[in-house]
Structure 1
Amino acid sequence: MRVIFMGTPDFSVPVLDALVAAGHEIAAVYCQPPRPAGRGKKDRPTPVHARALELGFEVRHPVSLKGTAEQEAFAALQADIAVVVAYGLILPQAVLDAPKRGCLNIHASLLPRWRGAAPIHRAIMAGDEETGVCIMQMEAGLDTGPVLLREGTPIGDEETTDQLHDRLSAMGASLIVTALRHLDGLTPEVQPEEGVTYAAKIDKGEAEIDWSQPAVEVDRKIRGLSPFPGAWVEIDGQRVKLLASKLASGAGAAGEVLDGDSLTVACGSGAVELLRLQRAGKGAQDREVFTRGFPLVTGRQLTPQQ
């Protein structure tokens, strides 16, 4: 098929590669514009932009698709279908209607649960036991279209957003190839009204750890916000990100280090074991490496003093 591909971050790159490997013709690649990044704040192409250039495709990165000129340029590609995955712009109706077979979206949740911007983070933070990928026919609403294919997967007890992100990306790449191969035989399934939840964009203000919460909630926050923006706690005036954890046995005052070797910390109820941490200005480290340079002795209180 002649495909317009629309995606921006790392999550989208395996999908583009899978479409190419399956023999589809890529009419053009749409992504978000390059933005300042790094110490020099120079414009940096998005991961999809960089990969598309490596593959020799035309790359377009309009700041909006609302204008008539952009919509006409999109329609002029005469695509059979558009595949959209984490693109980052709302598609106006004129764009949705332009490809002969419409637009398909790859969404990283089991719709209608976790419509919206941050389904992977929210699934882990909410303690969901399962998530997955849906191939959805796009319409004007936010992730409201009928589902053509879905595939579920359990969420591991210690799995982080980073790890789940990579698994779901690979699943989405495989599932979209299957969907395009069997498109004529698929029956769209209207999403039920019951069970709708919204995955709001992650706010950095959510990331500070409150040790008075139950351990299960602290653990979910650490794993759900890893690697970005990273749940954090302030220790000796330094912000330390907590990037991996698991539930542990033990009890004590909220924020008390119960074991400085295993980095077990008491919560409002229960405890968590910190597995990977990152000090400001330094790389992420497993706890054994972290504690050699920044020991947290047993009995230490991590709760900020009022």
Structure 2
Amino acid sequence: MRLVYLGTPEMAVPPLEALVAAGHEVALVVTRTDKRRGRGGHTSPSPVKEAAVRLGLPVSHTVDDVLGLGAELGVVVAFGQIIRPHVLAELPMVNLHFSLLPRWRGAAPVERALLAGDDVTGVGVMAVEEGLDTGGVYAQIEVPIGPATTADELRTELVDRGAELLIDTLDAGLGTPVEQVGTPVYAAKIDPAELRIDWSRPVEEIDRLIRAGGAWTTFRGDRFKIHAAEIIDGELVPTIVQPAGKPRMDAHAWRNGARPADGEWFE
């Protein structure tokens, strides 16, 4: 099938690679513009652009460039931009979405499912419409969320399973999508302020926040990240931490260096 592909972050790379490996013709890859890094004016491409160049695929940063290529379908994976109606009117598109719709429509479905304490999520191939993740679903599968699963682990499994589902769905023919059923729940982008640990909350809730990634607190007035922890005898015990200005380290090694006073804790 002659396709165009729209995606940006690392999680959108495996589906692109799977499409090429399965023999689909990718006429164009659309991704975000290169980002400026540092003071030297150097720019860096998105992970999808890097993959496209490696695979020898043409790349654009403009969605309208997908028109007039004779593509049969557009495939969207974590693209991060609104696709305008005039484009959808000319070229049908499907989106690989990482939740069980209509639960967790929007930007952060993986993190929101974990933060909410969901014990199952999934990935689906859905029709792209003008609304936010409102299109019918062609195919979807469930993926369990274990009690110790991190967002990174869950995202990796969803991407791997989703790439397989995408190929299987295209090979079988899209058919007619099934309308979403249920009350929509929206997965807003995670605000860094949400990731600050409130130590008055239940330990299970704090554990989920840490497993979602980016959880932080303060210690002696400085920002302090907690990357991993365990619940032992009802108490949350950090295992991998990152003090301000330092790399990640084992929490025991940090304690040996910081020497917290008796009763001294995070703020």
TM-score (norm 1): 0.82
Structure 1 equivalent of residue 56 of structure 2: 56
For residue 41 of structure 1, report the CA deviation from its aligned partner.
5.9
1:238 corresponds, among 219, 222, 227, to: 222
Give RMSD over aligned pairs.
1.7
Structure 1 equivalent of residue 179 of structure 2: 190
Structure 2 stretches of 5 or more lacking a match?
Answer: none
**Distance across 2 between alignment mates of 1:124 and 1:39:** 37
Q: Does 1:212 align with 2:200?
A: yes
Structure 1 equivalent of residue 106 of structure 2: 116
2:210 and 2:227 in contact (8 A); partners too: yes
1:113 and 1:196 in contact (8 A); partners too: yes
Spell out the pairing of 1:85-164 with structure 2 (5 A cutoff).
85-99=77-91, 102-164=92-154
**Distance across 1 between alignment mates of 2:189 and 2:54:** 31
Q: Are the structure 2 counterparts of residues 295 and 110 from structure 1 closer, same or farther at C-alpha, using a change threshold of 3 Å?
A: farther
2:211 corresponds, among 215, 223, 227, to: 223
SS state of the match for residue 220, structure 1? helix
For residue 11 of structure 1, report the CA deviation from its aligned partner.
0.5
Q: Tell me the alpha carbon deviations over residues 81-135 of structure 1, each in whole angstroms, 9 at most, x when there is no partner.
A: 1110000110111211323xx1010001011100000001101110000111010
TM-score (norm 2): 0.94
For residue 39 of structure 1, report the CA deviation from its aligned partner.
6.6
1:129 and 1:154 in contact (8 A); partners too: yes
2:246 corresponds, among 273, 282, 286, to: 282
Q: Are the structure 2 counterparts of residues 104 and 248 from structure 1 closer, same or farther at C-alpha, using a change threshold of 3 Å?
A: same
1:8 and 1:31 in contact (8 A); partners too: yes
**Distance across 2 between alignment mates of 1:40 and 1:126:** 42
SS state of the match for residue 157, structure 1? coil
2:210 and 2:226 in contact (8 A); partners too: yes
**Distance across 1 between alignment mates of 2:217 and 2:197:** 6
**What percentage of aligned pairs have identical amino acids?**
43
Figure out how many residues of one structure are paired with residues of the other and give that number: 267
Structure 2 equivalent of residue 44 of structure 1: 44
1:74 and 1:98 in contact (8 A); partners too: no
Structure 1 stretches of 5 or more lacking a match?
Answer: 251-270
For residue 187 of structure 1, report the CA deviation from its aligned partner.
3.8
For residue 19 of structure 1, report the CA deviation from its aligned partner.
0.3
2:28 and 2:66 in contact (8 A); partners too: no
